[in-house]
Amino acid sequence: MTEKLSFDALTSHLFGAADILRKKLNPEEYRPVIMTVLFIKRLNDEYEANVQKLIQKGKSEKEARKKFNHAFTISDSANWDTLFKTKKSIGQKLNQISRYIEEENPRLAGVLTATKFDDKRNYPDNTMEDLVVHFNKHNLSNDNLVKPDIFGDAYEYLLAEFASETKKKGGQFYTPHEVVRLLVLLTKPKEGMRICDPTCGSGGMLIQSWSYVKEKGGKADNLTLHGQESNYQTVGMSKMNLVLHGVANFKIEHEDVLEKPLLQEGGKLFTYDRVLANYPFSENWKAEGKESDVYNRFKFGIPPAKDKADFAFIQHMYATLNDKGQAAIISSQGVLFRGGVEAAIRQGLFEEDAVEAIIALPQKMFYGTSIPGCILLLNKNKAKERKGKILFIYAAKDYKEEKVRNILRDEDLTKITKAVADFKDIDRYCHVADKEELEENEFNFNVPRYVDISEPEEPVDIQKTIDEIKKLDKEREGLEKKVQADLKELGFKI
For 460-485, how does the pLDDT look when each residue is reduced to its tens digit (9 = 90+)? 667 777 777 778 878 777 777 777 77
Backbone angles phi and psi of 493, in degrees to 5: -85, 135
Residue 319 in domain:
yes
Gap between the Cα atoms of 30 and 41, Å rounded: 17
Asked if residue 192 and residue 285 are part of one domain, the reply reads yes
Gap between the Cα atoms of 435 and 430, Å rounded: 16
Whether the pLDDT of residue 152 is over 60: the answer is: yes
Of 280, 398, 392, 271, nearest to 330 (Cα)? 280
Q: What is the mean pLDDT of residues 20-45?
A: 86
Cβ neighbours of 30 (radius 10 Å) = 23
pLDDT confidence of residue 22: 81
Asked if residue 86 and residue 32 are part of one domain, the reply reads yes
| Alpha-helical segments (H) within 216-283 | 232-244
Asked if residue 143 and residue 226 are part of one domain, the reply reads no
Q: What is the mean pLDDT of residues 206-233?
A: 95
Gap between the Cα atoms of 468 and 462, Å rounded: 10
Q: Which of 115, 138, 165 is the last residue of a domain?
A: 165
Asked if residue 174 and residue 157 are part of one domain, the reply reads no
Residue 279 in domain:
yes
Q: Which of 136, 165, 194 is the last residue of a domain?
A: 165
Asked if residue 258 and residue 138 are part of one domain, the reply reads no
Gap between the Cα atoms of 451 and 429, Å rounded: 6
Asked if residue 390 and residue 472 are part of one domain, the reply reads no
| Per-residue pLDDT tens digits for 158-178 | 888 877 776 544 446 678 899
Using CA atoms of 163, 168, 174, 175 in order, give the dihedral in degrees to the nearest 10. Answer: 120
Using CA atoms of 55, 58, 61, 66 in order, give the dihedral in degrees to the nearest 10. Answer: -90
Asked if residue 158 and residue 198 are part of one domain, the reply reads no
pLDDT confidence of residue 457: 61
Whether the pLDDT of residue 225 is over 80: the answer is: yes
Asked if residue 389 and residue 253 are part of one domain, the reply reads yes
| pLDDT level of residue 24 (50, 70, 90 thresholds) | confident
Structural domain including 224 reads: 167-449
Whether the pLDDT of residue 2 is over 80: the answer is: no
Asked if residue 171 and residue 146 are part of one domain, the reply reads no
Whether the pLDDT of residue 1 is over 60: the answer is: no
Q: What share of the chain in percent tops pLDDT 70?
A: 95
pLDDT confidence of residue 213: 97
pLDDT confidence of residue 383: 96
Cβ neighbours of 323 (radius 10 Å) = 8
Specify the CATH number for the domain of residue 251: 3.40.50.150
**Burial class for 416, CB neighbours closer than 10 Å (0-12, 13-18, 19+):** buried
Gap between the Cα atoms of 64 and 55, Å rounded: 6
Residue 455 in domain:
no
Residue 209 in domain:
yes
Asked if residue 494 and residue 404 are part of one domain, the reply reads no
| Per-residue pLDDT tens digits for 341-390 | 999 999 999 999 999 999 999 998 887 778 889 999 999 999 999 999 99
Asked if residue 222 and residue 96 are part of one domain, the reply reads no
Whether the pLDDT of residue 185 is over 60: the answer is: yes
pLDDT confidence of residue 170: 42
| pLDDT level of residue 456 (50, 70, 90 thresholds) | low
pLDDT higher for 5 or 455? 5
Gap between the Cα atoms of 195 and 215, Å rounded: 17
Number of domains forming the structure of the chain = 3
Q: Which of 134, 165, 196 is the last residue of a domain?
A: 165
Residue 376 in domain:
yes
pLDDT higher for 295 or 491? 295
Residue 201 in domain:
yes
Specify the CATH number for the domain of residue 160: 1.20.1260.30
Gap between the Cα atoms of 378 and 257, Å rounded: 19
Residue 40 in domain:
yes
Of 153, 201, 428, 232, nearest to 330 (Cα)? 201
Asked if residue 210 and residue 102 are part of one domain, the reply reads no
Question: pTM score > 0.75 for this model?
Answer: yes
Cβ–Cβ < 8 Å for 455, 448: no
| pLDDT level of residue 454 (50, 70, 90 thresholds) | confident
Residue 2 in domain:
no
Whether the pLDDT of residue 493 is over 70: the answer is: no
Q: What is the mean pLDDT of residues 229-238?
A: 89
Element (H, E) at 228: strand 224-229
